[in-house]
Amino acid sequence: MSILSNDEQPVGGLSGSPKTMFLLGLTTGVGSVSVLALIVLVSMMLKGQSLGALAGNGGTIAAAIPSPTPSAQADAPAPPSAPVKEVDDKTDYIRGNKNAKVTLIEYSDFECPFCLRHVATVNQLLQDYKNDVRLVYRHFPLSFHPEAQKAAEASECAGNQGKFWEMHDKIFEANQAGAMSVQKWKDTAKELGLDTTKFNNCLDKGETAAKIATQTQEGGAAGVTGTPGTFVNGKIVEGAVPLATFKQIVEQEGAKS
């Protein structure tokens, strides 16, 4: 039988010296605190709180609705590396007064729902500020819109025969109706009175694809990350901004109704 000294008597049904029992209690307490902290952390994560919230920063994880339609790029796109390309009467299609004091350079995707909404806003601006606002349309087809690329090519093929804006309007009407296809553009070319042989060859061979790729690259370099991206006298406005807001923007640039 073992004999314990006075400083080694059992404590709470456990054997060991007071020093030993103190260390055991300390370890047990630390373990309990760790488990409690882990429970709190897991609970906060399930509620959508970040580690910043645990530290008292109040941060939360929130869902965002993308507007404009984002391109398939990294979460943190590179800052603009070049200003928006100046208007070129030889390559750009211009709607409105060519000498207007406010120029809207719109980078757009014919299949984009936000771009479709934006059409009505821009058309109203052109009507309300007939002398002071002009529109330049440039291409920025997004890879996840399957009809966007050929729609852009169709507009340019029609432009080769002097009917860019007519085809532009017809394509957005098809977007609205959910009827976008290569065959639709060929049928539309016939409706517009184009030389369909030239148009069909242009579209089938991708003769205007290089121009579209160049405009998309230039738009990205200027800071376009989604559609529509509209430069107002060189300053970008992202998304389908409401008409009232856009009126304020163009009037700040000197437009008068």
Q: Are residues 50 and 97 in the same domain?
A: no
Q: Are residues 44 and 102 in the same domain?
A: no
Query: Higher-confidence residue: 55 or 133?
Result: 133
Q: Are residues 45 and 103 in the same domain?
A: no
Q: 201 in a domain, yes or no?
A: yes
Q: 5 in a domain, yes or no?
A: no
Closest CA to 119 of 252, 248, 230: 230
Q: 184 in a domain, yes or no?
A: yes
What is the percent of the chain where pLDDT is above 90? Answer: 68
Task: Check residue 128 and give its pLDDT.
Answer: 98
Instruction: Identify the weakest region by mean pLDDT among 18-32, 138-152, 210-224.
Output: 18-32
Q: 160 in a domain, yes or no?
A: yes
Task: Check residue 80 and give its pLDDT.
Answer: 80
pLDDT digits (tens, 9 = 90+) for 25-65: 444 444 444 444 444 444 444 444 333 333 333 322 223 33
Task: Check residue 257 and give its pLDDT.
Answer: 87
Q: How far apart are CA 257 and CA 255, in angstroms?
A: 7
Q: 192 in a domain, yes or no?
A: yes
pLDDT over threshold 60, residue 187:
yes
Q: 100 in a domain, yes or no?
A: yes
Q: 4 in a domain, yes or no?
A: no
Task: Check residue 108 and give its pLDDT.
Answer: 98
Task: State CA 214 to chain mean position distance.
Answer: 20
Task: Check residue 81 and give its pLDDT.
Answer: 81
Mean per-residue pLDDT, 107-122:
97
Those residues with Cβ within 8 angstroms of residue 54's Cβ, 6 or more apart along the chain or in another chain:
40, 41, 44
Q: Are residues 50 and 113 in the same domain?
A: no
Between the alpha carbon of residue 70 and those of residues 50, 85, 186, 189, 192, the distances in Å are: 25, 21, 29, 30, 33
Mean per-residue pLDDT, 155-175:
98
Number of domains in the chain: 2
Q: Are residues 46 and 98 in the same domain?
A: no
Q: 47 in a domain, yes or no?
A: yes
Range of the domain at 103: 93-252
- Which CATH number do you get for residue 125? 3.40.30.10
Q: Are residues 132 and 221 in the same domain?
A: yes
